[in-house]
Chain A
Amino acid sequence: MSQDAHAAKKRRISSNRTALMESQPSFLEDLELLQEMNQAAKVDDPSLLWARPTCNKINPSTDTIVFQQIEADEYMHSGMQTPVVRFYGITETGNSVICHVTGFLPYFYVPAPVGFKIENIPAFKTALETAIEKGNSIVKIEWKLKESIFGYHGGEKSPFLKITLKDPKNIAAAKRSIERGISFAGFSDFTGQTYESNIAYLLRFMIDCRVKGANWIELPAGTYQVKNDQNSNAQINIETSYDKIISHQPEGEWSKIAPLRIMSFDIECAGRKGIFPEAKIDPVIQIASMVTVQGESKPFIRNVMVLNTCAHIVGTHTMSFDQEEKLLASWADFVRRVDPDVVIGYNTSNFDFPYLLDRAKHLGVNKFPFLGRLNDVRTEAKDTKFSSKAYGSRENKAINMEGRLQLDMLQVMQRDYKLRSYTLNSVCAEFLGEQKEDVHHSIITELQNGNEETRRRLAIYCLKDAYLPQRLMDKLMCLINYIEMARVTGVPFNYLLARGQQIKVVSQLFRKALEKDFVIPAVNSQGGEDQYEGATVIEPNKGYYDVPIATLDFASLYPSIMMAHNLCYTTLLTPSTIQKYNLVRDVDYVVTPNNDSFVKESRRKGLLPIILTDLLDARKRAKADLKKETDPFKRAVLDGRQLALKVSANSVYGFTGATVGKLPCLQISSSVTAYGRVMIEKTKQEVESRFTVENGYEHTAEVIYGDTDSVMVKFGVKELEKAMKLGREAAELVTTKFDKPIKLEFEKVYFPYLLINKKRYAGLYWTKPEKYDKMDTKGIETVRRDNCRLVQSVIDTCLRKILIERDVVGAQEYTKQIIADLLQNKIDMAQLVITKALSKTDYANKQAHVELAERMKQRDAGSAPALGDRVAYVIVKGGKGVAAYDKSEDPLYVLEKNIPIDTKYYLDNQLSKPLLRIFEPILGDKAESLLAGDHTRTIQVSTPSIGGLMKFAVKTATCLGCKTPLKKDESAVCSNCKGRAPELYQKQRNIVNNLEVRFSRLWTQCQRCQGSLHQDVLCTSKDCPIFYMRKKVQKEIQDSSATLDRFVDW
């Protein structure tokens, strides 16, 4: 605004002000200020915000380029026919980079056959090229002295042939040929084990160039060229040679994270009633997207694209489209322009992306499936199968978007957290502490088919759902933790979700081997059946302990065993080696309790112990830094790192024991567990022989239980301080009995402690004598999915009463009360609901939820659960001999029709076992009495309004006092009960009042949750604990207030 205009405006306002002086207070000044601010911040077109910050033209001779690479892939150079690695990254100023790195060629090793000379190389080369049927495919073969990682060979190196090829694809063929046998001048049918031939080219590159996952790369001025690439979306396109790049190790300054753009999105489809949306038929109607810069708390782009008109949404860029094709094309265009580095969502890999791609294909939106940084690479959904010992088998779709990381939060949840349910609802309830509104898909279509207001309402849901993955990710620090894991283990970020645990160890092992000049054999794993003995368990002395039980833990047990005893591939001895080098037992080598031999550190320090020492030292450093650091963001990075380091150290042992693995070595893994067993036993002996009355202690200690890396000791003392002191003393004592760095630590005291069985216990957890830290439970499976909520809450409450309140009698009383309530139909229905996903229709056996879905379909196909939905059911009373699967019923139907619940089922099949389990150690045989007795005598069954006899029943009003049928002129009580009328009125009044409060609280809560007071609550989230309560209270309050109204007078 010009000076003059400004002054003029000021005058205008001030002239008004005099007129209004009396009635108008000082808000005019604020108003004026606001007007000026608005002028300054005016944005006409929100899509102008989409693009990245502009990037100055690069001058390769003067500009140094530094970027954080987030993803990499490889392609074959069309001219040279050699592989090129392509890094995708971001500079510190937020500009996107694609960096092509040339010149690095794949290679592998094979031991030189006996009698092989350097002169034999050309003949071998020709023979190998012939064998793989690719002329001119081998660049060179070199003679190298190397040592195999497998076994101790006196430190002697032996001759290897390093075979360098042009095309990584030919490595597998060359490997097979050599394994099958090759003949060449002087050598007939040479077969050999190949080395390092089973590692992906990209990982090979990263290992040799010391590039870690998501680390920073520097290209000094003068070492690179600008590449003119029509197919690239990046702002900076450059090319360099592999020996020119500087790869910064992610330490200190280089721990930082670039301003990554994170896009979180959600789509809505208009499904048909009762059918899960199909891309060929059902349109995509809305797509909401949020874009946030890593490290900032709010998204800087919030938009929603809507098919058909949509009323404006404040703070949101709302875009309307008259054609679905245009909507899809615009969204793809939006993705390319906003150019996110990370794309997140909930179930995007298996639903949103495949649906969008299929839909775009069906509609012929040809421009759509190019969502990556490369304009010429089509985005596709491919089926992948992922199976891992740690994570189980999963079939997924993989979506390629070159240059963008994907973090499907559903997959993250399934991998990293064990939950009762993985719906976005339950995950939000668990981690964000809030319920998510859940709108049934049939309502989605209705809202879409309404007007611009109803579509706006839908858009608001869609926006909320698009933001939740971002909030979840921020809360759980997933992105940072994954980046740190990639950096610690050195694998590309994308491997973390797509691959198992092993690859992370492989990456570290190859890196260390390269540094120490070892080569690693490419073992063809056959997945042998050999099982080795696992960890040991000291038979638990079951019971309820009302004295402190000290717990002694070996810190990082398996890693420290490997370090203490120098267990490694490189230190493994065979009897012949022992003979060959005249090694002396216990001087040069040790024999493990598993009867395997390993050389001692004095002769050679093993590679695995070195890796482990590095990891654990790095963890110590990270933890020390964490203590000092105050910046919350840097703290998060450090915490993520120390966690990644711990997980990595622990996974090394598993790697050596994975029979279907890259390099299994059961001698190592079996020895580790054998040592572990011996140590637990020895700890028990040491403790029990030292802490005795004879040695001057108050009591004789007893080890009541031990498992894997911890032992529980009853020192007999009643005071926490004493138990803690003895615990520390015992830990120190036992530590001296073992080799370094094995360390027994006193960590906590359980008091009281309920030891139910192996791997099943509960206790109050104390680390300081003043106040307990928490209640700790192991193996008490209250999170099993086919349990109803009641089981979880009853068990939980009982444990708390027993452990925290130390009120065993109270726990029994509580249990009896709950059972009484259950039998009297007083338990809230939500507590009894069991939910299961309807994942396929043709189960081999009849299952309760499938049968119910079928019955619901017959009643009303529209509202019946479709494939992929979660079916919620309760078990209702059925006639004699009715199978359990036929007794499942829709909770809403049960509420409506007053169908009696099969309370006995809940008592016998759900509650009794877990209850007996926790009460038996305390009460012994008397535990059974909890399940029978006085409290099980009063039973109340609701009168169903449908079925059987009810057709013939006639409703008569009965006296509210004594239940005798009422005469015509009596409305509430009979003449005998007249005296009790005020009391009975009061009783009914209280019932109604309680219901009124519940009604108010429940429905206002739902309004808060949906974020609107003026719109009806539509949510049908069956995972929400108040959903059924809400329905139930509506019905009950209607009935009870009708009963109350019968008290006209008395």
Chain B
Amino acid sequence: MGKIVAMTGNIAVANAMRQINPDVCAAYPITPSTEVMQQFSNFVADGKVDTELVTVESEHSAMSACIGSSAAGGRVMTATSANGLALMWEMLYIASGNRLPIAMMVINRALSAPINIHGDHSDEMGARDAGWIQMYSENGQEAYDNLIQAILIGESEGVLLPVMVGMDGFIISHSIENLSMLDDQQVKDFLGEYKPLHPLLNVNKPLTMGPLDLQDYYSEHKRQQTEAMELVKPAILKVAKDFAALSGRTYGFFETHRLDDAEMGIIALGSAAGTARHVVDGLREKGIKVGMLKLRVFRPFPSEELQQALGHLKSLAVMDRSESFGAAGGPVFSEVRSALYDLPTRPKTINYIYGLGGRDLGIANIEQVVADLQEINQTGKIKNLITHLTVRE
């Protein structure tokens, strides 16, 4: 039954991939995800996996090769970051449109320009309309756990969608932490054998994939994708339940911390959730009624569940580690505020854009956020709807 190991987020992810033992991996290196495929290619060279590793000349080709392999009927994985994900853009939509359950680790990193290799969510957030299931991880443990679960979520009956799992670049990818790894056999049994619904390589049942789809049927195929996203929610909960039975670790669409009796709330994704939890605990000792919610699943967006979890708050701060230029706030804020709109009474909700390009988010920063929420509760007025936190004037 598993063991406690100390490793970087990237090595944890590479080990998850080793235990998943996919049929095909096609990848191209980019910081900070390079270490994942570097370590995984060692596993291939050492005969620890049966994977066909396809080294390609760009991320566009990496995703293209993943699409071909998945269409053929294989269990397929890759990893990338930032500009690498951006170069995959065209193929992301083709993967989801062709209903191919590829699993991809995204080591979240800022997009150029100016060039920056450090952690923020601009890359994955930019791909939020690409039809992929999207998850975020707070630490190496969650990245490991999420990636293993991602395989079964994407392959679920009725779903058949690709999944990307995010983990903050450098902050998590290159930090060594303790985590609990399952046994190889446990992962193998948990995942079972992949049985593709419509494999191209089945010569006894020839089929066409990716045909021209014009005004007469394209809308129907997009409607199917919407339906598939609806079916992701029960799939996530089912896979999480089975995974909890195996690992003792529980997952849902999000995790709440001291939120039930809170008057103020903070929403964060990824590594910032750890800092927020620490601040919440400190302020609770001073009697300040604050709680937090860590969003794990961004696509499909759990609107109804968030309404239930957040509706009782007086005020709420949504932390966005990416900017949506010209929009009504960061991507998480826009969606959360939209979800809360239909409630008869709802918290006053504000947005903080923080940590772009790996800028550190400190304890004092989150304490300031809570101080702002306290002021809103006292005055009933929002002074700043959107604040660029940790940015010098």
Please indicate whether A and B come from the same complex rather than being unrelated chains: no
Interface residues of A (CB under 8 A from B): none
